[in-house]
Amino acid sequence: MADEFDRFLASSLAPPERLPDRRFVANLQARILLEDQLAGKRRAVLGELLKQLVALVAVTAAAWFIGRASPIADFFAQTPAFGLAILLAGFGFVVLLFSSSGRTVPFR
């Protein structure tokens, strides 16, 4: 009796039989593919950002250690404008170096 009731309940609650919605499936597969592509691009952008941050920290640390040397610190103390010009030129070079990597690909 329970098996008969289970079959009746399953047939009553089951959705009507129909063909699969191919357009919905294609749309869902396209969205999954797009999400996979975007995830890959996000990883690439984050990796590039991490490399640039490490390079920026290395350049900053090198400039700080060089600036702490006694002869250079004395020279910059006597002519601070020259030190500022060198600092701005170095910053411009770093910005130019990072912005001209040429490896960025626009989203398709």
3-state secondary structure string across 41-77: HHHHHHHHHHHHHHHHHHHHHHHHHHHCCHHHHHHHH
List the Cα angle 46/51/83 in 5-degree steps.
130
Whether this prediction's pTM lies above 0.85 is answered by: no
Residue 29 in domain:
yes
Residue 1 in domain:
no
Number of domains composing the chain: 1
Structural domain harbouring 70: 20-99
> Given a cut of 60, is residue 108 above it in pLDDT?
no
Residue 53 in domain:
yes
Tens-digit pLDDT profile for residues 6-59: 888 888 888 888 887 889 999 999 999 999 999 999 999 999 889 988 988 998
**Residue partners of 34: CB distance under 8 A and separation at least 6:** none
Tens-digit pLDDT profile for residues 68-87: 888 888 888 888 898 888 88
38-74 core/surface letters (b: 16 or more CB in 10 A; e: else):
eeeeeeeeeeeeeeeeeeeeeeeeeeeeeeeeeeeee
Residue 92 in domain:
yes
What is the rounded average pLDDT of the residues 1-10?
A: 83
**Rounded CA separation 28/83 (Å):** 59
